[in-house]
Structure 1
């Protein structure tokens, strides 16, 4: 089955990453391979793209999309970029890309448990081999820890009430599905007054917690510049303020980097019409000095 995910801001990525024939580029979050395949066509047969992803299912899609191109795919979290490059015998590279969004193929697969729009198990793991799922957090964390996660990672104004309701509900029976959790949150809010589903913030917070997204991003931002050769480009696409603030701070404060984008680059109108999920994407670029 071909991937349904469209690579976000592809033209902007190619412009800011500026891959040249013969160069070596790391796509640290390869996903379905959309960015990797386009970069590989730019670097040509004398170059190389190394693609990393935590999700083996996405790597299967990427293999089909990059077949015949100079692309090496590795099952790895992107904060292990140094270990992967060392294992491949690669030193400094010419460019590093990270697209921090998750793919439509993941979102639209009910069994992955990412979306409250489809009934499925409370999973949310990018890497199905890791032990922690959303269900284990919802059914095991104490109320104060749940509330902190919903508040800090989802900006949820009713974090404590939702956490208390979860604890009360799970005392009667475990909360195991996306529908159960979404209905619990909606029940505290009552009838919807806008287009945003009340469960959105809680699901975001759980996904970030399950996958340690901010911890991995912080480690990656500290490690990646050391793998860039002078003049190498570092491009990161984020999808919410918790990520963007970290990227902006790292690019501005790291003396190994020179920011290239004064403000984040956002999607154009044409892409927004074709792919509404790209509306929150922000791209920042920096150069190794």
Structure 2
């Protein structure tokens, strides 16, 4: 859908998938459908594409095409859905982990501090805890842990304390109410947007279980991707990128002693081979789409 979300590193990610005309692929974050349409253009008439998104709004953006199956699901359940549809192996997987422009541009979703709206932040609005429930209900120590772990927020304890003190006087139910409380902890800061971005990121990750979902996905990929198949992941903050790099490089398997083979020099090798370093958007793309500034794309091939 036009304006729903501008796909990041579109041409580069499609090239990285090394698409086989009759292959079977999964786009784990349908969003505005931009990556899905590009994959379909590269596929032949016998190709298949499975698109997942936990946000029901995104499913309306699925291209109308007999080769595509759109699924309202969290990508943590990819293996279960592939089994349901009888897919034994995938030729490639694409995951764009960024929050869509639609979420930031819709105040009613509660993802942005720029516009006032309900403190929601749920990707799937059919269930789950809201950001308001986290802010209102978590004990101070747990709230500080969320801010520190998921947002790497400086003065996390003081922010948590300020939230607890404020909610004792009146419920914190909107994004601007939370914004005002947080900024009281940083008087005179020259970059309030950076402070707020970290706080809102932390709450969003907690509400949606984003890193837990990502870890569950990464653990499944070795059994879902065929030998020679590609995995392409776009991340937007260091917590995501570190986890993706660790799993695709084989560090996680090495830590748990789950290794399938040895490399050509006899050393331990994980199930994937990282292809090069992380790719970042060009200056031209950043000019056209400033929201892509923090994006990194990592590519791996199944051994």
Superposition TM-score, scaled by structure 1 size = 0.96
CA deviations over 1:75-119 (Å, ceiling 9, x no partner):
010010111111111110100011100110111001000000110
- Residues of 2 paired with 1:119 and 1:195: CA distance? 16
The corresponding residue for 1:274 is: 288
- Residues of 2 paired with 1:141 and 1:3: CA distance? 36
- Residues of 2 paired with 1:284 and 1:115: CA distance? 27
The corresponding residue for 1:83 is: 80
1:191 Cα deviation after fit = 2.8
- Say yes or no: does 1:245 pair with 2:242: yes
C-alpha contact (below 8 Å) 2:52/2:72 kept by paired residues: yes
The corresponding residue for 1:20 is: 20
C-alpha contact (below 8 Å) 1:21/1:43 kept by paired residues: yes
CA deviations over 1:18-38 (Å, ceiling 9, x no partner):
112111110011111110110
- Say yes or no: does 1:96 pair with 2:111: no
Mark the runs of 5 or more structure 2 residues left unpaired by the alignment: 254-269
The corresponding residue for 2:266 is: none
C-alpha contact (below 8 Å) 2:28/2:53 kept by paired residues: yes
- Residues of 2 paired with 1:90 and 1:41: CA distance? 21
1:197 Cα deviation after fit = 4.2
Q: How is 1:209-220 mapped onto 2 (pairs within 5 angstroms)? A: 209-220=206-217
The corresponding residue for 2:261 is: none
- Residues of 2 paired with 1:195 and 1:110: CA distance? 19
- Residues of 2 paired with 1:36 and 1:84: CA distance? 18
> Secondary structure, in 3 states, of the residue corresponding to 1:199?
helix
The partner residue of 2:170 within 167, 170, 173 is: 173
- Residues of 1 paired with 2:35 and 2:116: CA distance? 30
- Residues of 2 paired with 1:217 and 1:190: CA distance? 35
Mark the runs of 5 or more structure 1 residues left unpaired by the alignment: none
The partner residue of 1:234 within 212, 222, 231 is: 231
- Residues of 2 paired with 1:194 and 1:182: CA distance? 13
- Residues of 2 paired with 1:228 and 1:99: CA distance? 17
After TM superposition, the structure 1 stretch with the greater mean CA deviation from structure 2, 3-12 or 73-82, is 3-12
Q: How is 1:85-164 mapped onto 2 (pairs within 5 angstroms)? A: 85-164=82-161
1:130 Cα deviation after fit = 2.0
- Say yes or no: does 1:36 pair with 2:33: no
Return structure 1 stretches of 4+ with deviation > 6 angstroms: none
- Residues of 1 paired with 2:301 and 2:4: CA distance? 32
1:2 Cα deviation after fit = 3.7
- Residues of 1 paired with 2:67 and 2:189: CA distance? 49
C-alpha contact (below 8 Å) 1:44/1:70 kept by paired residues: no
Coordinate RMSD, CA, aligned:
1.3
The corresponding residue for 1:221 is: 218
C-alpha contact (below 8 Å) 1:125/1:210 kept by paired residues: yes
> Secondary structure, in 3 states, of the residue corresponding to 1:233?
strand
C-alpha contact (below 8 Å) 1:45/1:70 kept by paired residues: yes
The corresponding residue for 1:4 is: 4
1:251 Cα deviation after fit = 1.0
C-alpha contact (below 8 Å) 1:96/1:235 kept by paired residues: yes
What is the number of equivalent residue pairs in this alignment? 285
1:131 Cα deviation after fit = 2.3
The corresponding residue for 2:257 is: none
